[in-house]
Amino acid sequence: MLDECAAAGVVLELECGVVGGEEDAVSAVGVAVERLYTTTEDLLRVADALGTGERGRYLLAATFGNVHGVYAPGQVELRPEILRDGQEALARAHPGARFQYVFHGSSGSSDDDIRAAISHGVVKINLDSDTQYALTRAIADHVLVHYSGVLKVDGGIGDKKAYDPRVWGKRGEAAMAERVAAACELFGSAGRSLTA
């Protein structure tokens, strides 16, 4: 697949290990805890199989206790040092090489764990659950506050200014944009472009 992606000018993204939780009806609930933590040996096998960039670029979602979905604080035990150890092992085996990691399942992670993961080579962070919640929360707030206008209650006609998707949609999009902006500040990418 890497060869095909490289020929098409596409970056391959792959997971090494098991991301806990559930996403798109694929569940890792009940998986042995140790499988939630990629080993250094697993990471080196990826580099041996795919190279270190000479065959094409790939982003590696190594698992370090991360889970899809959102969990109460203390329910997820992240070990960002796994990413650091993988970088060090790769540098010993392939001098000058460096993994470009992806952080799947970051929602609900502490700021410190996120910063540590970035310092160990994370270049892409997925926070889908957080942005979904921001969007949905703003829309739900609008619907609850403007209930009688959104719905035609007791034979009423409603209020187009309340049920117009451009109104509640704009509020949802603004809330999502705020969440993304806050994440960019945390990630250290605010005000930067891909080329900067």
- The CA-CA-CA angle for residues 41, 33, 14, to 5°, reads 50
Are 100 and 143 found together in one domain? Answer: no
Are 103 and 134 found together in one domain? Answer: no
Please tell me the distance from the alpha carbon of residue 175 to that of residue 172, in angstroms, as a whole number. Answer: 5
Please tell me the distance from the alpha carbon of residue 95 to that of residue 110, in angstroms, as a whole number. Answer: 32
Are 79 and 100 found together in one domain? Answer: yes
pLDDT tens for 51-67 read 999 999 999 999 998 87
Are 117 and 137 found together in one domain? Answer: no
Max mean pLDDT range (6-20, 70-84, 86-100, 107-121): 86-100
Are 65 and 120 found together in one domain? Answer: yes
Are 114 and 181 found together in one domain? Answer: no
Please tell me the distance from the alpha carbon of residue 123 to that of residue 105, in angstroms, as a whole number. Answer: 14
Q: Which residues contact 18 (CB under 8 A, 6 or more apart)?
A: 28, 31, 35, 36, 63
* Amino acid occupying residue 191: G
Q: Which of 98, 126, 154 is the last residue of a domain?
A: 126
* Amino acid occupying residue 114: I
Are 99 and 113 found together in one domain? Answer: yes
More confident residue, 31 or 189: 189
* Residue 24 pLDDT: 65
* Residue 21 pLDDT: 66
Are 67 and 156 found together in one domain? Answer: no
pLDDT tens for 124-180 read 998 888 899 999 999 999 999 999 999 988 888 999 999 999 999 999 999 999 999
Q: Domain count for the chain, please give it.
A: 2
Are 18 and 112 found together in one domain? Answer: yes
Are 122 and 138 found together in one domain? Answer: no
Domain that holds residue 14: 2-126
pTM: 0.84
CATH of the domain at 66: 3.20.20.70
Which residues on adjacent β-strands are paired with residue 165?
A: none
Q: Which residues contact 34 (CB under 8 A, 6 or more apart)?
A: none
Q: Which of 126, 155, 178 is the last residue of a domain?
A: 126
Are 58 and 84 found together in one domain? Answer: yes
Q: Which of 100, 126, 152 is the last residue of a domain?
A: 126
* Amino acid occupying residue 51: G
Are 87 and 181 found together in one domain? Answer: no
More confident residue, 53 or 195: 53
